[in-house]
Amino acid sequence: MKNIVVLVSGGGTNLQALIDAEKRGELGPGKISCVISSSPSAYALTRAADNGIRTVTLPKKGVGREEYTHQMVELLKAEKADLVILAGFMVILGEEMAQAFPNAIMNVHPALIPSFCGPGYYGLHVHEAVLAAGVKVTGATIHFVNEVCDGGPIILQGTVPVENDDTPEVLQRRVMENVEWKLLPKAARLFCEGKIHVEGNIAKVY
């Protein structure tokens, strides 16, 4: 069994996709062992509790980045995390995190990296930027986390069209439904089955 610890900050629809996949036996040897939230009011905590998954709240408010990162690393080590998944986790963690879990932290980003990513590109802001640029295709990326914000090896990507009358909310929903909720559980399974090999900044899936 591989312990998967999921980090959340908000609604937790990606966490729900992981929970549903595990129930269907689609995470292979992966098991969601704990959910950690940066916010005590995140609805994701309710989703976890409703499914009998242990939760921990590590509030970000009032804690500096390096101190918060250190607390998180200690917590993840105590949880014996094999894979850490950032599923709508809205805190940028310091370098200690990637160094403690090299190529063992996954993030879901709601655009096609290397476009529309980096500091300031999170949640609905990403879709607003996509619409403002007038691109005709967008999507989501599952990638490993390294020291560079949204810069680690890309594991899986999927695309959706951008339609003329899209709002950021409509586009977000299309990206989530068609890409994020499908590819995140798939990437978790591939990791737990040892099917992702990283060379430098390139991830190859077998």
Total number of residues that touch ligand GAR (CB under 6 A): 15
From candidates 2, 14, 101, 152, binder to ligand GAR by CB under 6 A? 14
Mark 18-32 as b/e (b = at least 16 C-beta within 10 Å): bbebbeeeebbebeb
Q: Which two tokens stand for residue 95?
A: 């370098």
Q: Is 3 in the site for ligand GAR (CB under 6 A)?
A: no
Closer by beta carbon to ligand GAR, 57 or else 197: 57
| Binding string, residues 89-128; x marks residues near ligand GAR by CB under 6 A | -------------------xxx-----------xx--x--
Strand pairing of 202-205 and 196-199? antiparallel
Q: Which two tokens stand for residue 117?
A: 């990513």
Closer by beta carbon to ligand GAR, 43 or else 104: 43
Q: How far is the CB of 9 from ligand GAR (least distance, A)?
A: 7
Tell the residue number behind the tokens 């990162």, with chain if given.
69
Task: Establish whether 143 is a catalytic residue.
Answer: no
Distance CA 10, CA 45 (A): 9
Residues annotated as catalytic are 109
